[in-house]
């Protein structure tokens, strides 16, 4: 009998994570009966000790906040994609014990957009300025041919977003959050803010909106996503992102490709419906 292979998602808080549901669905579909996927409540202080204790049965880790940057010093190598935003959400352990870091959030965003027919836009808007916003800029650097406007709450956040734009090769203009409704004139709007933040903007959705990418998956749909769909606009949700980035993680950790996208999405939808 082959030895068990292990993977897990780490973060704090972690109880809400859908990653175990998605990865386990993939293992079932791929016939990987000797693979397990767990979740561990780990903060930045506990991360080095946890990683050092992992044995050769470990294939990989998924990382959520606040560990995406804390993991980098513990790795032997990171991909160019991860380096571009200084954030790792995927670790793969090689047979010779090396730790390789990657960021599947960025290609996951692009895959989710492609699925809705969005391959290139002339301009875009980003709501928010946190870690997910920097990933959004990295994704936009590959598909946006013009300016990106970031709507933020402070001068410090504005400066940070302009800095990310310069680093990623994106022309970023910043605007105050009070003007956030103006984002909806762009062909693509990416909302990266916490739950409830954009609810007040739902009444400002225009009659013919473009595409909304709202990275939240719970609660879903958001008030903004509902209003957007009611006005005939295309909506990409947080579950789309979560599934697509998890597909890439499964492929990297197991070496099996393609990962079963449909089965993973179905499992995620069922888990959310049961909450």
Catalytic status, residue 68: yes
Q: Out of 6, 23, 24, 68, which one is annotated catalytic?
A: 68
SS3 letters across the chain: CCCCEEEEEEECCCCCCCHHHHHHHHHHHHCCCCEEEEEEECCCCCHHHHHHCCCCCEEEEEECCCCCCCCHHHCCEECHHHHHHCCCCEEEECCCCCEEEECCHHHHHHHHHHHCCCCCECCEEEECCCHHHHHHHHHHHHHECCCEEEEECCHHHHHHHHHHHHHHCCCEEEEEHHHHHHHHHCCEEEECCCCCCCHHHHHHCCCCCCEEEECCCCCCCCHHHHHHHHCCCEEECHHHHHHHHHHHHHHHHHCCCCCCHHHHHHHHHHHHHHC
Any idea which residues carry the catalytic annotation?
Answer: 68
């Amino acid at each position: 009998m082959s030895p068990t292979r292990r993977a897990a998602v780490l973060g704090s808080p972690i109880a809400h994570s859908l990653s175990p549901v998605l990865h386990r669905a993939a293992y079932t579909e791929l016939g990987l009966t000797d693979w397990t996927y767990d979740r561990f409540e780990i903060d930045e202080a506990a991360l080095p000790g946890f990683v050092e204790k992992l044995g050769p049965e470990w294939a990989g880790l998924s990382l959520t906040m606040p560990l995406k940057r804390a993991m980098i010093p513990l790795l032997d190598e990171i991909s160019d994609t991860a380096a571009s935003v200084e954030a790792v959400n995927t670790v793969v352990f090689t047979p010779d014990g090396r730790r390789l870091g990657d960021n599947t959030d960025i290609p996951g965003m692009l895959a989710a957009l492609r699925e809705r027919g969005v391959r290139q836009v002339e301009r875009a808007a980003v709501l928010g300025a946190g870690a997910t916003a920097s990933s959004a800029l990295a994704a936009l650097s590959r598909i946006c041919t013009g300016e990106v406007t970031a709507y933020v709450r402070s001068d410090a956040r504005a400066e940070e977003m302009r800095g990310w734009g310069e680093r990623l090769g994106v022309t970023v203009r910043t605007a105050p959050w009070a003007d956030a409704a103006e984002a909806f004139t762009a062909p693509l709007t990416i909302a990266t803010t916490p739950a409830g933040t954009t609810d007040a903007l739902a009444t400002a959705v225009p009659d013919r909106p473009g595409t909304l990418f709202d990275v939240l998956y719970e609660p879903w749909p958001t008030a903004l996503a509902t209003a957007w769909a009611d006005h005939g606009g295309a909506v990409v949700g947080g579950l789309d992102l979560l599934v697509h980035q998890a597909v890439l993680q499964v492929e990297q950790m197991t070496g099996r490709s393609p990962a079963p996208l449909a089965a993973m999405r179905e499992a995620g939808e069922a888990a959310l419906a049961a909450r």
